[in-house]
Amino acid sequence: MAQQYKFVFTTEEAASEGVTDHKKLPKLIEKARNLAKAPIKVGAVGLASSGRVYLGANVEFEGLSPSYSIHAEQFLIANLALNLDPKLTHLAVSNNGTVFHEPCYRCTHFLQEMTNAPQIEILIKNENDEDGSFKSLESHMPDNFGPESILPAEPSLLLVECDNRLALFNQDLYPLLKLVALQAAKKSYAPHSKCPSGVALVCEGKVYRGWYIETVAYNISLGPVQAALVDFMARGEGKGFDKITRAVLVEKKDAKVRQEDTARTLLEKIAAPNCDFKVFHCYEQLEYNTWIVVKK
């Protein structure tokens, strides 16, 4: 069952699936699409600079607006972030396994948060093409508004790991879950709003975590619960969201971009009926963030 729900492939594992270079990424697209949780199944396959191959799949939540959903490209990027892989180099996205297209507007914003975004190669292929061709993201949207236009430094979603230097106000209830959620919040990528947050989920005794991943356009950022659900799907071996019984959110008390309401709404819709959801507040220990370059 673990192989059926596999979202990360080592170089050797990818080669065993026929993916020996970036041109072969489509060989894994059906595996990615089969992992989707949506009526129209979209899959994404990406090659990282480490040589590992990542899968992404779209996730929709019945009864909730599309703003709660996770696009396949977002899933893949969160997957890289959770695994601290430093750079995405090639990407293939398809909703039918034969036609490969450019990322949507929402996902293009996510890709633009990476320092090497202009150089990321996207597979473009129609039904009549045998192999298709890779084109740079820069050629897709050469004049698009991105984070470099408003940020003085050069933080990146994948090239650096953020230490938001957060601490909890209280250390009593749920010490383990609070610490997991706090550590997630410390890794949160929120250079635009300065409102990091993290989530810890519990299913059958196993803990999953995720953190807020922000874009320059706040309304298309990925919430911490959604990011934690990426971890849940990647490591949960096919378990349903309705098996999630506990959840903890850690965020700043005075955050301008708050996650509590959207997190509660999403968990009430998908988690176990008696899911215990708690929110704890944190504060910054220093007035500035430290960005640590991850070398891999």
Catalytic residues: 73
What are 52's two structure tokens? 């590992």
d(CA 230, CA 48): 18
Side-chain half-sphere CA neighbours of 199 within 13 A = 30
d(CA 234, CA 141): 30
Q: Which amino acid is residue 179, in one-letter code?
A: L
The DSSP letter of residue 2 is: T
Long-range contact pairs involving 58-61 (C-beta distance under 8 Å, separation at least 24): 59/226, 59/229, 59/233, 61/266, 61/269, 61/270
CA dihedral of 60, 32, 44, 68, whole degrees rounded to 10: 10
Q: Do residues 122 and 78 lie in contact, with contact meaning Cβ atoms separated by under 8 Å?
A: no
Q: Coil, helix or strand for 234?
A: helix
